[in-house]
Amino acid sequence: MNSLFPKLAVQGIRKNKKIYLPYILTCIGMVIMYYIISFLSYSKSVQNMKGGSDLQTFLSIGTGVIAVFTIIFLFYTHSFIMKNRKKEFGLYNILGMGKGNITHILIWETLITYLISTVSGLVLGIIFSKLAELISAKILGDTWQLGFNIDVKSVISTLILFAVAFGLILLNALRQIHLSNPINLLHSDKSGEKPPKARSILAFIGMIILGVAYYISCTIEDPMSAITLFFVAVIMVIAATYILFIIGSIVLCKILQKNKKYYYKTEHFVSVSSMMYRMKRNGASLASICILSTMILVIISSTMCLYIAKEDSLNDRFPRDIVIELDSTEDKYIESLRNAVDKVIADHDVKYDNVLEYRYLSFAGIHKEGTTITLDTKVNDFSNVKQVDIIPIDDYNAIYNKQETLNDNEALISVKKFKYNNDSINIEGFNDFHIKKHTDNYISNGKTIASIFASVQLLVSQEKFDEFCEFFKEQEAESRYYGFNINCTPEEQIKIFKEIEKEIKTLQKNDSSFPAVSSESIEDSRSNFYTLFGSLFFLGILLSIVFICAAILIMYYKQITEGFEDNGRFEIMQKVGMTKTEIRKSINSQILTVFTAPLIFAGLHICFAFPIIKKLLEAFGLFNTGLLIAVTIGVFLAFAIFYVCVYKITSRSYYHIVSNKEV
Amino acid sequence: MAILEVQCLEKIYTTRFGGNQVRALTNVSFSVEHGEYVAIMGESGSGKTTLLNILAALDKPTKGDIFLEGKPLSLIKEKELSSFRRDNLGFVFQDFNLLDTFSLKDNIFLPLVLSGKNYKDMNNRLKPIAVKLGIEQLLEKYPYEVSGGQKQRAAVARAIITNPKLLLADEPTGALDSRSTDSMLKIFSDINSEGQTIIMVTHSTKAASHAGRVLFIKDGEVFHQIYRGNSTNEEMYQKISDTLTLLATGGDKNE
């Protein structure tokens, strides 16, 4: 008797290989992904790479995401398997097996699946982990080491995670078995099907939620509120998608049914009514497919965009090769600084050019609406914080070769990361400025790019600038920007930069009144930049692979369920006088509708998510909207092709089931 | 002219790998007149379902042919078969075969919709039939909400709404309790008395006793037939029972 249960368990898996095999494959896939990500986030060799520890920080977030996702997802798919196997258990029950015995079988089954998936998953994971290591080295722009290692910590955490997941799944399965009686189990797949109810109010609420989420995304003006509202919008979209797919589609079918002229047409009659049942059964999985697709699209397009544009972002962030900022506008300090720089440059026998030099005064203000910027800095509402730079018009003229003149109550304005259309502006404590011109000549400034806040550059007369300096004297808000390019190799640039920093230290040591100085060099920061975007992209790819696996499995299961359902319906329709071609046509069009719906909705989500994603990427210093559009469209097309392929492949199993009978 | 002529029907099934041949029908000939109510009886395996399938044009005979109003079925093209069935034949099945995705009304409309009728037309046709079958209150209900007898009445309505030349019923009372069976048989008699030609395949002596003529099939041949003449249902029942006993005890062809 003791060896009977494992035997029955193995048989159960084998006989149901149509549903079990994809499940086990997915489990293996999840194990592989989890191990690889966990391996990379612990691996010594990754840690030793340039920027490796940054990558590891991102990846450890990724392990968390995947762990949670794995548990939810496996739980969800296993309930599908249980639905299909209840009949078998009912039969065992009637043939005299107690629920205790069925529990035995289930435990064995779970144990076998657990062992198969973790063992083969870990073996494959260990093999592929080297590949992942090579890819991460490539992304970080570092060389890789030979050698192969296994991370015991990751193996153990993988085993534990999946033990927990399978434990939960087992408990849920046992709960279902114990709560039902044998007859219910036996007929669970044939219980009379109630027609779905149309709950118009809920569908309406779903549409409103979706509308609000879209509205949020489209009306966001600055990156800061994009970050705070992004997750709100995401949750709303997810909720709305589920409501609309499960309930909205049924409501739509009911409305079509009410229209007698439309409904009682040969080509609509069967489709509309069967569609209602299809959606009742599959609404949730379609919504899941839609959400997963949207996530994949958002993740891949945004991280890929950042990765492609890393060079541009770097150049935006560092408008000049070397930038030095003095916390003072006084001429004598810049003079000595310039001399120091000249000396170093001369030592290296290189040329510098493209000098960018200007004075500015910088402070944070709160701007909600209208024309007033207040200075209340204790506000918690970060989305209204604006970085304000006051720049003398003379410096602006010098940079852009212009001859603008302003009197004391006039100003030019240039903004970044938000819109300002008024023709006057008021800064708390000063009189109104009439805005003489809105200019696009924003004076490049890495700080604006690096900062998450929106910013305003206000160009005022020299007198007004002095007045501002006087006003903000306490805060030491005034600075002098000094940046230039040098023509030399990256290594030499870094060397020069270090020497300049040393010279500045000497200056500060010799003159205790010398102001604070911040300095940065593009080459010095390049690798950090590349690591950041490379890591994000890498993580994006890894997460997307997991989501894709999930989406494929859901699709496959959906096809199988539909196949079994349609089988009986096919026969009846034929007896009643539909031709095979009529039935095929109707079924084909239904399946096509059902399958394109998630893709179309995902596309719609992406379109409406575009503004908010654009703002989010601005927080990362990416302003290239054209690139984002191109990448998003490209990723969507690639995904659509992939989606169609998966659909084609999985739909074969559907036709296989349906054509078992003579149709 | 007879509405249905069945001539020398033979059906041989070949098993999948071409080995054994099974003769389901050997030599079946009979004809059905306009407005007749014919029951076909026989034991399991006697070939009655095969016969019905061939009459329904769901299957093709190996030899012989069927003429519906003088037109041979074998000349109908494969493509036109479905619409032929839809327009000329009505079906009632043992297990109802209602689609649970449709309300009863829509189930009844199904063949009409497939023929492209408009809604007003369909509704006008439905009303008298629904009253006659006593289902006018149930039309908006779904199959899972009504009893077996009610389902079968809806199925009958679906079968006759196209005004078929021939109503084919396959064990129509097989899944019903005795009360539903009685009312169902009454419905068949009523429909028949209005001129509908009916062919019913059945096991049940009671069901067959309502028919005007009973054909007995044994081993793929028409073994015997009984005409009602002027007998009551009870007398008919007795005659059928006698014949069945004879069949079961293996008597030779008599009379």
DSSP A189-218: TTSPPPPPP--HHHHHHHHHHHHHHHHHHH
**Measured CA angle at A334 (ends A330, A337), to 5 deg:** 145
Contacts of A276 in chain B (CB under 8 A): 101
| Per-residue confidence (pLDDT) for residue A112, from 0 to 100 | 92
| Per-residue confidence (pLDDT) for residue B48, from 0 to 100 | 82
Residue B141 sits at the chain A interface (C-beta within 8 Å): no
For residue A208, pLDDT beyond 90:
yes
Nearest-neighbour CA in chain A from B111: distance (Å): 7
Q: Is-contact A317 A622, C-beta < 8 A?
A: no
**Side-chain half-sphere exposure of A194, counting CA atoms within 13 A:** 3
Nearest CA in chain A to B158: A576
Mean pLDDT on A502-511: 87
pTM of the predicted protein model: 0.79
Pairing of strands B71-72, A424-427: unpaired
Nearest-neighbour CA in chain A from B141: distance (Å): 10
Token representation of residue B80: 């036109």
Nearest CA in chain B to A278: B101
Token representation of residue B151: 């389902």
ipTM score over 0.90, yes or no: no
Contacts of A261 in chain B (CB under 8 A): 119
* Cβ-based neighbours of B245, under 8 Å, separated by 6 or more: none
Q: Among residues A27, A20, A28, A186, which one has the least CA distance to residue A93?
A: A186
Token representation of residue A663: 């149709």
For residue A188, pLDDT beyond 60:
no
Residue B113 sits at the chain A interface (C-beta within 8 Å): yes
pLDDT interval class at B45 (50, 70, 90): confident
Q: Is-contact A17 A25, C-beta < 8 A?
A: no
Nearest-neighbour CA in chain A from B249: distance (Å): 36
Mean pLDDT on A131-142: 82
Query: In this prediction, what percent of chain B has a pLDDT beyond 90?
Result: 23
| Per-residue confidence (pLDDT) for residue A380, from 0 to 100 | 65
Nearest CA in chain B to A265: B113
Nearest-neighbour CA in chain A from B233: distance (Å): 32
A161-185 per-position pLDDT tens digit: 999 999 999 998 888 888 777 676 6
CA distance A663 to A573: 11
Q: Is-contact A203 A283, C-beta < 8 A?
A: no
CA distance A526 to B67: 89
For residue A1, pLDDT beyond 70:
no
Mean pLDDT on B71-96: 84
| Per-residue confidence (pLDDT) for residue A117, from 0 to 100 | 94
Is the Cβ pair B82, A582 closer than 8 Å?
yes
For residue B18, pLDDT beyond 70:
no
Contacts of A577 in chain B (CB under 8 A): 82-83, 85-86, 110-111, 114
For residue A444, pLDDT beyond 50:
yes
Torsion angles phi and psi, residue B211, rounded to 5: -80, 165
Helix (H, G, I), strand (E, B) or coil at B117: coil
Helix (H, G, I), strand (E, B) or coil at A112: helix
Query: Who has greater pLDDT, A363 or A655?
Result: A363
Q: Among residues A56, A61, A34, which one has the least CA distance to residue A45?
A: A56
The conformational region for residue B132 under phi > 0 = left, psi -120 to 50 = alpha, else beta, is alpha
Q: Is-contact B101 A274, C-beta < 8 A?
A: yes
- Tell me which amino acid residue A140 is: L
Residue A262 sits at the chain B interface (C-beta within 8 Å): no
Query: In this prediction, what percent of chain A has a pLDDT beyond 70?
Result: 96
For residue A663, pLDDT beyond 50:
no
Nearest CA in chain A to B53: A575
Average pLDDT of chain B to the nearest whole number: 86
- Tell me which amino acid residue A244 is: L
Contacts of A192 in chain B (CB under 8 A): 100, 143-144
Beta strands in B100-191 (DSSP E): 166-170
Write the CA distances from B147 to A471, A476, B154, B161, B237, integer angstroms. 89, 88, 11, 21, 28
* CA trace torsion A95, A100, A106, A112 (10° rounding): -110
B186-231 per-position pLDDT tens digit: 999 999 999 999 999 988 898 899 999 999 888 888 888 889 888 8
Nearest CA in chain A to B56: A575
Contacts of B114 in chain A (CB under 8 A): 266, 269, 576-578, 582
Token representation of residue A67: 């762990």
- Which of A276, A277, A577 lies closest to B114 in CB terms? A577
Query: In this prediction, what percent of chain B has a pLDDT beyond 70?
Result: 95
Is the Cβ pair B97, A576 closer than 8 Å?
yes
Residue A579 sits at the chain B interface (C-beta within 8 Å): yes
Q: Is-contact A425 A373, C-beta < 8 A?
A: yes
Is the Cβ pair A577, B83 closer than 8 Å?
yes
Q: Which residues pair with A519 in a beta bridge?
A: A324
Token representation of residue A163: 């033990």
Q: How far is CA A556 from the centre of its chain?
A: 25
For residue A660, pLDDT beyond 80:
no
Tokens 């969507």 belong to residue: A636
| Per-residue confidence (pLDDT) for residue A661, from 0 to 100 | 45
Residue A576 sits at the chain B interface (C-beta within 8 Å): yes
pLDDT interval class at A96 (50, 70, 90): confident
Q: Among residues A269, A232, A341, A132, which one has the least CA distance to residue B102?
A: A269
Nearest-neighbour CA in chain A from B102: distance (Å): 7
Q: Which residues pair with A390 in a beta bridge?
A: A361, A458
| Per-residue confidence (pLDDT) for residue B157, from 0 to 100 | 93
Q: Among residues A13, A40, A15, A41, which one has the least CA distance to residue A27?
A: A13
Mutate which: A572, A581, A586, A663, vs B, most B CBs within 10 A: A572
Q: Among residues A210, A204, A481, which one has the least CA distance to residue A337?
A: A481
Token representation of residue A483: 């940046």
A52-87 per-position pLDDT tens digit: 788 888 888 888 888 998 888 888 888 888 877 877
For residue B253, pLDDT beyond 70:
no
| Per-residue confidence (pLDDT) for residue A95, from 0 to 100 | 81
Residue A542 sits at the chain B interface (C-beta within 8 Å): no
Tokens 């910013």 belong to residue: A455
For residue A191, pLDDT beyond 50:
no
Mean pLDDT on A448-475: 84
CA distance B213 to B224: 11
Write the CA distances from A380 to A384, A385, A450, integer angstroms. 9, 9, 20
Is the Cβ pair B58, A575 closer than 8 Å?
yes
Q: Which residues pair with B170 in a beta bridge?
A: B201
In total, the C-beta contacts within 8 angstroms joining chain A to chain B are 69
Residue B158 sits at the chain A interface (C-beta within 8 Å): yes
Contacts of B144 in chain A (CB under 8 A): 192-194
CA distance A257 to A263: 5
CB burial of A145-171 (b: ≥16 within 10 Å; e: otherwise) equals eeeeeebeebbebbbebbeebbeebbe
Q: Is-contact B237 B61, C-beta < 8 A?
A: no
Token representation of residue A344: 């170093």
**Measured CA angle at B165 (ends B159, B171), to 5 deg:** 45
CA distance A562 to A300: 31
Contacts of B169 in chain A (CB under 8 A): none
Nearest CA in chain B to A574: B82
Measured over the CA atoms of residue A90, residue A96, residue A98 and residue A101, the dihedral's sign is: negative
Token representation of residue A469: 């300096």
> Which of A193-197, A397-401, A482-486, A602-606 is predicted most confidently?
A602-606
B225-248 per-position pLDDT tens digit: 889 888 888 899 999 998 888 877
Residue B163 sits at the chain A interface (C-beta within 8 Å): no
CB atoms < 10 A from the CB of B190, how many?
12
Is the Cβ pair B97, A264 closer than 8 Å?
no
CA distance B229 to B222: 20
| Per-residue confidence (pLDDT) for residue A236, from 0 to 100 | 93
Strands laid side by side in the A322-326 sheet: A372-373, A424-427, A433-438, A410-416, A454-460, A385-392, A352-366, A478-486, A322-326, A517-521
Token representation of residue A27: 């489990």
Mean pLDDT on B93-110: 87
Residue B97 sits at the chain A interface (C-beta within 8 Å): yes
| Per-residue confidence (pLDDT) for residue A186, from 0 to 100 | 65
For residue A135, pLDDT beyond 60:
yes
Contacts of B103 in chain A (CB under 8 A): 195
Q: Among residues A569, A564, A601, A599, which one has the least CA distance to residue A584?
A: A569
| Per-residue confidence (pLDDT) for residue A662, from 0 to 100 | 39
Q: Is-contact B243 B224, C-beta < 8 A?
A: yes
Mean pLDDT on A197-211: 89
Average pLDDT of chain A to the nearest whole number: 85
CA distance B94 to B89: 17
Nearest-neighbour CA in chain B from A264: distance (Å): 6
Q: Among residues A259, A300, A388, A207, which one has the least CA distance to residue A613?
A: A300
A263-313 per-position pLDDT tens digit: 888 778 888 888 887 787 788 888 999 999 999 999 999 999 999 888 888
